[in-house]
Amino acid sequence: MTIFAVTKTIQIMRKAILVISALAALLSIPAEAYAQKQTGIVAHRGFWNCDEAGHAKNSVAALRCAQEAGFWGSEFDVNMTSDGELIVYHDSDVEGKKIEEHPYSEFKDFKIANGETIPTIDQYLEQGKKYPETMLVYELKPHSCGEVEDRFVEITYKKLEEHGLMDPERVMFISFSLHMCEKIAKEHPEFTVQFLGSSKNPEELAKMGINGVDYNHMVFTLYKKWYRLARKNDMSVNAWTVNKDGDMRRMLKLGVDQLTTDNPLEARAIMKDMKITELK
């Protein structure tokens, strides 16, 4: 073999090594690096963390502020009284009275931080339907048993229908109740239904017909494969409640569809800094 031939062979081998190395590097990139560059901001319990809302979580004013600010979605918590009234309130009790065990009359005069009374679902949805572009992220709080939860879900359907909001383009459902998530997913598969708990991985949920996850942001750190499992099963991915700069950046880099936060303006600024498109 001539010196020229040897030199040519070495050059070819070097090029082959470079190509192989490049392919190996490409294959080693985690799935997160391919994440979409757009995310929707969900104001947790509305955009309550501002003067205009009176810093009142789950208030009608907080929903209005989220709508006016143009965030993709506004999350709110719903409980059911013993006489079947749905009220927008996070905790399962009000001043020691368990909501599920008492009639609405015992809660109707209770004032929240900005002076509003606890909103009924009717009052809340009246405001909700004024801004069709704002997704209403409807959280059904767990109740004592399946029978009560079934009633809760049926009343939810009825109320949404009455307000013209039984529409997957307007409302999505989230819950820590696996029973209610499974029920809604089975009866209305056209809606996005996200399970909030971490007792089931995405693959298990997908087999139950549930098409979304809404995990605490730390779950994605503890169970690194769960994001990929969710994507493998074509699931919607949300993360809650992401309030710190570093955590927001980590979830946005991961590529979640929605970021639920008490600090939506900060999330907006971080997304702009990261050149991630904010869905609206």
- Per-residue pLDDT tens digits for 27-68: 333 444 445 589 999 999 999 999 999 999 999 999 999 999
- Domain with 131, as residue range(s), is 35-279
Number of domains, the chain:
2
User: Is there a single domain that holds both residue 91 and residue 110?
Assistant: yes
CB 120 within 8 A of CB 126: no
CB 139 within 8 A of CB 87: no
User: Is there a single domain that holds both residue 269 and residue 162?
Assistant: yes
Chain segment 204-225, per-residue pLDDT in tens: 999 999 999 999 999 999 999 9
Residue 13 has pLDDT above 60, yes or no: no
Please name the residue that has the structure tokens 């969710």.
Answer: 230
Local confidence band at 96 (pLDDT 50, 70, 90 cut-offs): very high
The pLDDT of residue 44 is 99
Residue 6 has pLDDT above 70, yes or no: no
User: Is there a single domain that holds both residue 22 and residue 40?
Assistant: no
User: Is there a single domain that holds both residue 133 and residue 67?
Assistant: yes
- Residue 207 burial (CB < 10 Å; 0-12/13-18/19+)? exposed
User: Is there a single domain that holds both residue 148 and residue 184?
Assistant: yes
CB 126 within 8 A of CB 163: yes
* pTM: predicted TM-score of the whole model, two decimal places: 0.88
Cα angle value 159/164/169 (rounded, 5°) = 105
User: Is there a single domain that holds both residue 51 and residue 13?
Assistant: no
* 87 token code pair: 């009220």
| Mean pLDDT score, 181-194 | 98
Residue 1 has pLDDT above 90, yes or no: no
User: Is there a single domain that holds both residue 56 and residue 115?
Assistant: yes
| Mean pLDDT score, 258-279 | 98
Helix (H, G, I), strand (E, B) or coil at 261: strand
d(CA 229, CA 237): 11
Residue 111 carries which DSSP code? B
User: Is there a single domain that holds both residue 11 and residue 150?
Assistant: no
Q: Tell me the torsion sign for CA atoms 240, 246, 249, 250.
A: negative
Partners of residue 43 on adjacent β-strands: 74, 261
Helix (H, G, I), strand (E, B) or coil at 69: helix
User: Is there a single domain that holds both residue 6 and residue 43?
Assistant: no
CB 57 within 8 A of CB 90: yes
